[in-house]
A = this chain, B = another copy of it.
């Protein structure tokens, strides 16, 4: 017996297509995957790659008969999708998502969704700078954390089944309060993305230093930031708009700290700079020790030149 009888994945970009690939690779998760994507440019690739059993041409119909429906679209689309699929969802089905913000999800879905459907928001903390159905891969979630943020009254059996789903895809599962999730991710993901976008933008706009020089000498550190700043623009716009409070709070702290560093530079306070640079150095080692980063120097660049 499979974990779910039929799964619908709405949105077959990097994350949605990786879920589908993972399900196919692992086996035992479901008998049938239905996919839906509204981007006409993706359709050919999805059909060729064959990671769904059926690519539905109709959003509402795509959820019929599924006991798990996963939204893998930018969070700004959730309300509208919920409205469209609400009446076709099977009683007892689970409606989940993969969005990078969690506090606002329940409020987007609940008004439209019948009470007999279990809404259980989730967030696999995994991804790359690439987008679209060709960018996905089955091992994307291996050894990454998937955070599930159930409401208090969530059905235990449905929650356990969703946890098992992410574990079968290779994730570790963490159950967390949605608002706490948004604070943690604001500092570990959202603000780092905003800063990366920002420094790449600042560099791009410089006139004294030409853009070709920025590109030419990017190996000094800048190129690392461009990876994150190449992430999906729609997805990230929706993240910032829907985790406003935590992002602005963390950004305030970041700016305060940056002002202190700026002041240390202006006043030649080398000790303050040195002390801070020593402390931050240890964090990377801890991340590697925790299995959240490969222990590969300089991201493996240059070594095989």
A-side residues, CB < 8 A to B, are: 76, 100, 125-130, 135, 137, 139-140, 142-145, 147, 170, 174, 183-185, 187-206, 208-209, 211, 213-231, 233-234, 236-238, 240-241, 244, 247-248, 250-251, 253-255, 257-258, 261-262, 265-266, 268, 270, 273-274, 276-281, 283-287, 290, 292-294, 296-303, 305
In the bound complex, how far is the Cα of B187 from the Cα of A25, in angstroms?
A: 44
- Contact, CB under 8 Å: B237 / A204: no
In the bound complex, how far is the Cα of B274 from the Cα of A19, in angstroms?
A: 26
A156: shortest Cβ distance to chain B, in Å? 24
The 8 Å CB contact of A293, one of B126, B223, B296, is: B223
A137: shortest Cβ distance to chain B, in Å? 7
- Contact, CB under 8 Å: A255 / B253: no
- Contact, CB under 8 Å: A290 / B209: no
- Contact, CB under 8 Å: B302 / A215: no
- Contact, CB under 8 Å: A201 / B129: no
Q: Chain B residues near A285 (CB, 8 Å)? A: 230
In the bound complex, how far is the Cα of B292 from the Cα of A136, in angstroms?
A: 25
- Contact, CB under 8 Å: A135 / B297: yes
- Contact, CB under 8 Å: A265 / B292: no
With A215-B286, A219-B145 as given contacts, are A201 and B139 in contact (CB-CB < 8 Å)? no
In the bound complex, how far is the Cα of B236 from the Cα of A257, in angstroms?
A: 17
- Contact, CB under 8 Å: A223 / B265: no
- Contact, CB under 8 Å: A220 / B262: no
Report 15 cross-chain contacts, Cβ distance below 8 Å, ordered by A residue: A188-B203, A188-B218, A190-B221, A191-B199, A191-B202, A192-B199, A197-B276, A197-B280, A202-B253, A215-B283, A218-B292, A221-B228, A229-B284, A241-B273, A300-B300
Q: Chain B residues near A125 (CB, 8 Å)? A: 217, 219-220
- Contact, CB under 8 Å: A287 / B201: no
- Contact, CB under 8 Å: B199 / A237: no
The 8 Å CB contact of A220, one of B185, B215, B250, B301, is: B185
The 8 Å CB contact of A197, one of B218, B251, B261, B294, is: B261
